[in-house]
Amino acid sequence: MVTTEPAAQSEDHDDVVGFDSTEVCQIVGSRVRELRQAMGVTMAAFAESADISLGMLSKIEHGQTAPSLATMVRLSRAAQVPLTALFRGLDEERDIVIIRAGEGHEIIHEGSGPGRTYTDLGSLRGPNRVIEPLLTELTEADEVFPLYQHPGIEIIHILDGKMEYGFGPSRYEIAAGDTMQFHGEVAHGPTKLIELPVRFLSIKVYPPPTTD
């Protein structure tokens, strides 16, 4: 459901020397979110305090972008911690990830809007993200939903509600308990919400990177 972005974009091409950029994205994002939640402030309030956009903070917390050194300084000041606190855990292995209830990363992207919540459920450490689990909650049906395309395969399991789901020119009605699996290269997404709220788990499985 989320337009795919490279796993390790750099906000202004200032990578942290000596570390894999993907690891920096994931660790810094997790630490920023933990610190913000410990302060008990919203993403909007924390972004304003750090003098960055809400969208940028969402990307940082989600591990979608490697913040520049200047941005990390602003983040550490907003969190009232030393800059080095943002890198805590960088050398730790992550062969298992447990996301407790309510602790997923909320994503803000082009498809976001009133009545739409997208929560990333974490990923293992590594140079490439292989699997992307996402919890989507849709509570308002008065707007048009965009369709998405991405590499690999996607699996959707409906937890609550009922909706019409588009796949290319076709439309399918799916309800709680139903599961869909399809190729992500074909345009897809909700086209009509029938019974609200709609909650579903989507799992994207990306193809392995090509080697020369």
What pLDDT, on a 0 to 100 scale, did the predictor assign at position 105? 67
Asked if pLDDT for residue 11 goes beyond 50, the answer is no
Spans of all domains in the chain: 9-87, 130-205
Q: For the chain, what percentages of helix, strand and coil (3-state, to nearest 5) are there?
A: 25, 30, 45
What pLDDT, on a 0 to 100 scale, did the predictor assign at position 37? 86
- Mean model confidence pLDDT for the chain: 80
For the residues 48-76, what does the mean pLDDT come to? 90
Instruction: Say whether 130-205 and 9-87 share the same fold.
Output: no
Just give the CATH number of 9-87.
1.10.260.40
Asked if pLDDT for residue 12 goes beyond 50, the answer is no
Cα torsion for 23, 87, 68, 35, to the nearest 10°? 110
Query: Which range has highest mean pLDDT (8-12, 37-41, 178-182)?
Result: 178-182
What pLDDT, on a 0 to 100 scale, did the predictor assign at position 69? 87
pLDDT-derived band at 6 (thresholds 50, 70, 90) equals: very low
Quote the CA–CA distance of 206 and 181 in Å, as a whole number. Answer: 13
* CATH class, range 130-205: mainly beta
What pLDDT, on a 0 to 100 scale, did the predictor assign at position 145? 78
pLDDT-derived band at 8 (thresholds 50, 70, 90) equals: very low
Model pLDDT for residues 124-183, shown as the tens digit of each residue:
665 567 888 999 999 987 667 788 899 999 999 999 999 999 999 999 999 999 999 999
Quote the CA–CA distance of 48 and 117 in Å, as a whole number. Answer: 21
Task: Using CB atoms within 10 Å of the CB of residue 208, give its burial: 0 to 12 exposed, 13 to 18 middle, 19+ buried.
Answer: exposed
Question: What is this structure's pTM?
Answer: 0.58
What pLDDT, on a 0 to 100 scale, did the predictor assign at position 156? 98
Instruction: Please count the other Cβ atoms lying within 10 Å of the Cβ belonging to residue 111.
Output: 18
Quote the CA–CA distance of 60 and 5 in Å, as a whole number. Answer: 13
Asked if pLDDT for residue 119 goes beyond 90, the answer is no
Q: Which of 150, 111, 118, 152 is nearest to 134 (CA)?
A: 118
Rounded percentage of the chain residues whose pLDDT exceeds 70 = 75
Instruction: Please count the other Cβ atoms lying within 10 Å of the Cβ belonging to residue 32.
Output: 24
Give the list of residues 6+ apart from residue 142 with CB closer than 8 angstroms, or none: none
User: Is residue 68 within 8 Å of 10, Cβ to Cβ?
Assistant: yes
Asked if pLDDT for residue 87 goes beyond 90, the answer is no
